[in-house]
Amino acid sequence: MLSFAQPRGSAPGWLVSFEIRPPGVIFVHMKLTAVYEPAPEGGYTCWVEEIPSAISEGDTLEEAEANLQEALVLVLECQRELSDQARSPASLKKTLELASA
């Protein structure tokens, strides 16, 4: 098993762990840190600490969280498109899957 985590005593944040179970099967679990800042006009502004371009807002905490998850997906899709435009024809592109155990 391989794990990466923040040091003890630090604020909650990222955690990535890889565990190999049956031969050839790898389980990956990833947690990111979402920050919800109360907005002066009401509602929340939010972002993902580890991926600063994933930013959103919502009138309630639940709405802000749903919007932030959607923003994260859009950021990853946009990065994929930008990478496709920038990479050379000789580059190798492989899929890296992240899934819960």
- Could you list the pLDDT tens digit for every one of the 101 residues in the chain? 333 344 444 444 444 444 445 555 555 567 889 999 999 999 999 999 989 899 999 999 999 999 999 999 899 899 989 998 999 999 988 877 666 54
Residue 55 forms beta bridges with which residues?
A: 47
Q: Is 57 exposed, middle or buried (0-12, 13-18, 19+ CB in 10 A)?
A: middle
Residue 67 domain boundaries: 34-87
Do 41 and 80 fall into the same domain? yes
- CA 11, 19, 53, 70 dihedral sign is negative
Whether 93 is in a domain gets the answer no
Specify the number of domains making up the chain. Answer: 2
Whether 22 is in a domain gets the answer yes
pLDDT at 23: 59
Do 27 and 38 fall into the same domain? no
